[in-house]
Structure 1
Amino acid sequence: MPTLMREGRAGVTGVVVNERKALRNSTFFRAMSLISGSMGMLPLHLMRRKADGTTEKAKDHPLFNVLHRRANTYQTAGQFKSYMQLVALLDGNAYAMKVRSRGAVRELIPLARRSVKPKLSDDFKLTFEYTRPNGGVTTLQQEDIFHFRAPLTLDGLNGVSLVDVCTDTLGIAAKAQSAAARMLTKGTMARGALESDQTLGEEAIENLKASLRENYAGAEAQDDWMVLEEGLKAKLFASTARDSQLRELMQGEAEEVARFSGVPRPLLMFDETSWGSGIEQLGLFFVTYCLMMWFVIWEEAIWMCLLSSAEQDIMYAKFNEGALLRGSLKDQADFFAKALGSGGGFGWMKQNEVRSNFDLNPEDGGNDLPRPGTTAEAIAKEDQADAA
């Protein structure tokens, strides 16, 4: 019977790492949630190439709603994409059963993790060995399965699991965290000590403790000087090199997770990195060097697994990554002004195309490209003259 969580594997530290332990690492969790959440929120449209060379959204095709609105009876399209993306990251592979009606895919139902194994026969025919929840095993054909996998593979069939390649890094991070926990529970937390060459009685010690709590505790005692009696000397405890190395180790392992996932450091909440005016460049970096490969994998998997041979010639899936790169209102205004031919240049967008980006209804006469160097008033007069 397939399990939702595997036993895990031990790395160089001997710590057994599975997805549950991996997701307890804050950096790893942030990276996984950022990637899978971004892929889930981005619009995914089924597009059609028309005979005149233009394209349109294939809203009349059943698969359009599956990809854009509802994947199955219990998951929206966004929930389905986020889940499949996370599974592909953790396991390397994600599988869904195709439910057809009248020849078209009407639903995509995710199959239990690690319940499917791809098999390639000697004559290069691909099938999938599926272990049912009750323990029975059946063979599913290629046309029954939507297979989405990680970009790296060692055999051409199975994607590489991020948890597997991060085992050593996550194990070291877990060890460092355990060491920090031990220091907090069993280590020395006092700020310093009072030393004396004389022997103090129990009553003197208790009076000294009471005086410290009463006169030198809390924020109000900050920067106060203590008056010591009976030859007492104050000695401040300093942090050891071992404590500093522990902090550096934890920071280093967090950076390793960032390298494995491809998410930029500031997006993983490394507070020593300045955001400032570079936030848009961070978004561009994240989309270009982290998400772009997943866009291609999704689009190709949909084209290959969910479209018929005839449909593959005229249809394709397309992510709208612009939803992550919209920038500020000022940046959008500058971009669309140039797109409409501001400054006498050649415009490449129509007014109604710009309006559609803000979910505004089209306007009459807004489906023509702007004429460079011509004002709206002049265009209106020309149209009136042509009509006469």
Structure 2
Amino acid sequence: MPAVRRLFDRRGRQERGRKSLPPLTGSSTAADVTVTPERALQVAAVYSCIRLLAETGSMLPTGVFQRQGASRVPFDEHPVAPLLTYEANPQLSAGEFWAQVLGWMLLRGNAAAYVERSGGGLPAGLWPIAWTSVEPRRVKETGELVYKVDLADDEWAPIREEGGLVRAENLLHFRSFGIGGVEGLSPIGMARQAVGTGFAATSYIGGFFARDASPGGVVSVPGKLDDRQYERLTRQWQDLHEGFDKSHRLAVMEGGAKWDKTTLSPADAQFLEVYKLTRTEIAGIFGVPPHMIGDVERSTSWGSGIEQQSLGYVIYSLMPWLTRMERTARQLLGDPDVYMKFNPDALLRGDTAQRFSGYAQARQWGWMSVNEIRAKEDEPPIEGGDEYLQPLNMVPAGSPAPTQQRALPRRPQLRAETAESPSLEELPAWVQRHHEQIAEYFAAQGERVVAELNLRPDATAEEIIDEAAENEELTAILLLLARGVVAEVGASTAATLGGAFAAEQTLSVLAAGAAATAANINATTRRELAHQFTVSNAPADVQAMFGRMTEARSRVLAQARVNYLSNFGAHEGAKQAGARTKTWRVWDPNPRPTHADADGQTVGLREMFTVGTHQGRWPHDYLLGVDEIAGCTCRLQFNL
């Protein structure tokens, strides 16, 4: 019996635990107001808080960075970086994307973005989806999390999954604060009582002004009025004085009528105070200081200056939301040492005198150079501005002061002012090496497929080709070749510009690129094999198909890979050597019109070229699309 009682007690506690939280959908409140997230936006305090947080969050610059030992370096070359920092998809800038994500998180506690992927499996676009169109589900057998997406009529996203069942890796789920479960808690749903009171207060005050018959008071007459006289006096008074826009008009009395002025009722006066208090409570729901949404009656303990108040807002109000978005976005980057970060420095800048005083101390004590300071002020670098000062009196306690020595004149460093990326004709050995390695891989892959086909003549292409194993083998081959090309080209470019090249800093990018290329190649092979099976699955015919791939396709792939890697390596070498701009150069005597238009285009080293309707970092950048890459012989010129 005690065991049975414990069983029922445990079930009862679980049931009470599940029902202890209020539902996050709209429901009635103590103020007899039904509150939904969308209706809550009609409350000025709610709209002000959500607008403030979403707009200030979206205006911050974003960047992708990589940990290299104790250093943190920008990683703009990561394939996902443009989506997070520049353009989420062709129809939406990154700033507007983050504004929508923050808005949904603040309104419903959850936000979703569909991850569009290229043929190679790399993210190619981020498409925000209204959370009302998303339903999280668990696969009972495996516990895998999937999302059922049912787009509304005014939404669009390139969802390829059948039935709208999207796997977790293809949907970014941004959650607000929660205490378990798949979904975050909706701030509006959890605090709907305060929001409902605010909505009711707003409606009451609006009705109060509509009903107000100023000058407020009582009209009394001697004797008794008949119905006609009563209606005439009432109608005349309402026509002349009822409504806030008719207040304080001249009151004309007749028939001995007398006006007695009255004051605001205690209930109405107290309700106005309730309205003001509700604004403060709603600001507290979103963690926003009341003075930032117009409630300036109460003093703030966040500091007396604008800088102190802005600092408090960024740390305690905005940063928790930004951190949640950063952690969710990291699942796209594929490397624990690569991360995305919002930069709130623009919101923390003090007045000019304070800012320049801080720069002076940083310069004096040797932890910032002139060019670093100028960069923070969006000013161009100057000659010799990369040097750091070292105070002469900074010596260990008890040591004699160092003797001052006359500074020796700096020897000019011999280096070129420009460097060019190599052409394909300058790298014949690497093209040949790529061709041989890829051809050998295709030949061995063909032997494996034919051997499997002899054992299982009725098997499909998907069953015969083990893509996971094939991708792993081809990735290792491509990565080894890529490291060699990039190391050689990067070192040569950096040396031309008078710098040095650390090839290991590019390893993570090369690994990701090799994996994506391998997946793309094998996916194409599987499709071609499936098509071959529709014609003939005879082992001899299949072997002939792989023979054609070994000769022709491997050569095309070799040239494309060397073209891409040489441009990437030259770009990295120039960046590490201190190049600041790059120029698109056309070498083909008969170039395509889009490339001819791009000839001579100069942009910052970390910026994109515009080629036709696409943008890319260098010739043969996959971001330019197949039509702009095929047959391209363009090169880059790097400028110090």
TM, length-normalised to structure 1? 0.80
Q: Residues of 2 paired with 1:248 and 1:183: CA distance?
A: 14
- Provide the residue aligned with 2:55 in structure 1: 37
- Return the letter of the residue paired with 1:349: M
- Provide the residue aligned with 1:3 in structure 2: none
Relative to structure 1, the CA distance from residue 144 to residue 351 in structure 2 (aligned partners, 3 Å threshold; closer, same or farther) is same
- Provide the residue aligned with 1:99 in structure 2: 116
Does the Cα contact within 8 Å between 1:198 and 1:230 map onto a contact in 2?
A: no
Q: Residues of 1 paired with 2:141 and 2:255: CA distance?
A: 93
* Equivalent residue for 2:186, pick from 161, 171, 185: 161
CA-to-partner distance for each residue in 1:135-174, whole Å, 9 max, x for gaps? 9843222221111110x21324210011101211111122
1:295 correspondence with 2:322: yes
1:56 correspondence with 2:79: no
* Equivalent residue for 2:280, pick from 255, 262, 274: 255
Does the Cα contact within 8 Å between 1:198 and 1:231 map onto a contact in 2?
A: no
Q: Residues of 2 paired with 1:373 and 1:330: CA distance?
A: 27
* Equivalent residue for 2:172, pick from 142, 146, 155: 146
Structure 1, 63-72 or 268-277: larger mean CA deviation: 268-277
User: Secondary structure at the residue paired with 1:10?
Assistant: coil
CA-to-partner distance for each residue in 1:88-144, whole Å, 9 max, x for gaps? 111111111112233432211112322223334567643223233389843222221
Q: Residues of 2 paired with 1:380 and 1:86: CA distance?
A: 61
Does the Cα contact within 8 Å between 2:86 and 2:93 map onto a contact in 1?
A: yes
Q: Residues of 1 paired with 2:377 and 2:409: CA distance?
A: 30
Q: Residues of 1 paired with 2:141 and 2:408: CA distance?
A: 66
Q: Residues of 2 paired with 1:157 and 1:49: CA distance?
A: 30
1:24 correspondence with 2:17: no
Larger Rg: 2
Does the Cα contact within 8 Å between 1:45 and 1:68 map onto a contact in 2?
A: yes
- Return the letter of the residue paired with 1:334: S
- Provide the residue aligned with 1:83 in structure 2: 100
How big is the shift at 1:9?
2.0
How big is the shift at 1:23?
0.6
Q: Residues of 2 paired with 1:385 and 1:40: CA distance?
A: 45
Q: Which has the higher helix share?
A: 2
Does the Cα contact within 8 Å between 1:116 and 1:128 map onto a contact in 2?
A: no
How big is the shift at 1:192?
4.2
- Provide the residue aligned with 1:65 in structure 2: 82
Does the Cα contact within 8 Å between 1:127 and 1:140 map onto a contact in 2?
A: no
* Equivalent residue for 1:321, pick from 331, 335, 344: 344
Does the Cα contact within 8 Å between 1:43 and 1:320 map onto a contact in 2?
A: yes
Structure 1, 190-199 or 359-368: larger mean CA deviation: 190-199
Q: Residues of 1 paired with 2:221 and 2:136: CA distance?
A: 75
Relative to structure 1, the CA distance from residue 199 to residue 14 in structure 2 (aligned partners, 3 Å threshold; closer, same or farther) is closer
1:15 correspondence with 2:33: yes
User: Secondary structure at the residue paired with 2:80?
Assistant: helix
RMSD of Structure 2 on Structure 1 (CA)? 3.6
- Provide the residue aligned with 1:359 in structure 2: 378
Relative to structure 1, the CA distance from residue 133 to residue 229 in structure 2 (aligned partners, 3 Å threshold; closer, same or farther) is closer
Q: Residues of 2 paired with 1:380 and 1:58: CA distance?
A: 41
1:181 correspondence with 2:201: no
How big is the shift at 1:347?
2.8
Q: Residues of 2 paired with 1:199 and 1:90: CA distance?
A: 58
Relative to structure 1, the CA distance from residue 123 to residue 287 in structure 2 (aligned partners, 3 Å threshold; closer, same or farther) is farther
How big is the shift at 1:193?
5.3
- Return the letter of the residue paired with 1:114: T
Q: How does 1:140-289 map to 2 (within 5 A)?
A: 140-150=166-176, 152-192=177-217, 235-273=260-298, 277-289=304-316
Does the Cα contact within 8 Å between 1:129 and 1:137 map onto a contact in 2?
A: no
- Return the letter of the residue paired with 2:82: N
CA-to-partner distance for each residue in 1:248-304, whole Å, 9 max, x for gaps? 11112111101101000110101324689522221111111111211221121111x
- Provide the residue aligned with 2:515 in structure 1: none
- Return the letter of the residue paired with 1:322: D
How big is the shift at 1:77?
0.5
Q: Residues of 2 paired with 1:71 and 1:122: CA distance?
A: 33
Does the Cα contact within 8 Å between 1:47 and 1:317 map onto a contact in 2?
A: yes
Relative to structure 1, the CA distance from residue 385 to residue 17 in structure 2 (aligned partners, 3 Å threshold; closer, same or farther) is closer
Relative to structure 1, the CA distance from residue 253 to residue 274 in structure 2 (aligned partners, 3 Å threshold; closer, same or farther) is closer
- Provide the residue aligned with 2:451 in structure 1: none
Q: Residues of 1 paired with 2:341 and 2:405: CA distance?
A: 37
Q: Residues of 2 paired with 1:380 and 1:359: CA distance?
A: 35
Relative to structure 1, the CA distance from residue 74 to residue 324 in structure 2 (aligned partners, 3 Å threshold; closer, same or farther) is same
Q: Residues of 2 paired with 1:380 and 1:124: CA distance?
A: 73
CA-to-partner distance for each residue in 1:222-270, whole Å, 9 max, x for gaps? 9xxx9x9998866321111011111011112111101101000110101
Relative to structure 1, the CA distance from residue 380 to residue 11 in structure 2 (aligned partners, 3 Å threshold; closer, same or farther) is farther
- Return the letter of the residue paired with 2:66: R
How big is the shift at 1:372?
1.6
* Equivalent residue for 2:354, pick from 310, 331, 342: 331
- Return the letter of the residue paired with 2:340: A
Q: Residues of 2 paired with 1:124 and 1:351: CA distance?
A: 57
Q: Residues of 2 paired with 1:45 and 1:299: CA distance?
A: 10
Does the Cα contact within 8 Å between 2:279 and 2:295 map onto a contact in 1?
A: no
Q: Residues of 1 paired with 2:152 and 2:196: CA distance?
A: 34
User: Secondary structure at the residue paired with 1:176?
Assistant: helix
Q: What 5-or-longer segments of structure 1 have no aligned partner? A: 1-5
Q: Residues of 1 paired with 2:386 and 2:103: CA distance?
A: 41
Does the Cα contact within 8 Å between 2:29 and 2:193 map onto a contact in 1?
A: yes
- Return the letter of the residue paired with 1:352: N
Relative to structure 1, the CA distance from residue 14 to residue 238 in structure 2 (aligned partners, 3 Å threshold; closer, same or farther) is closer
User: Secondary structure at the residue paired with 1:242?
Assistant: helix
Structure 1, 137-146 or 349-358: larger mean CA deviation: 137-146
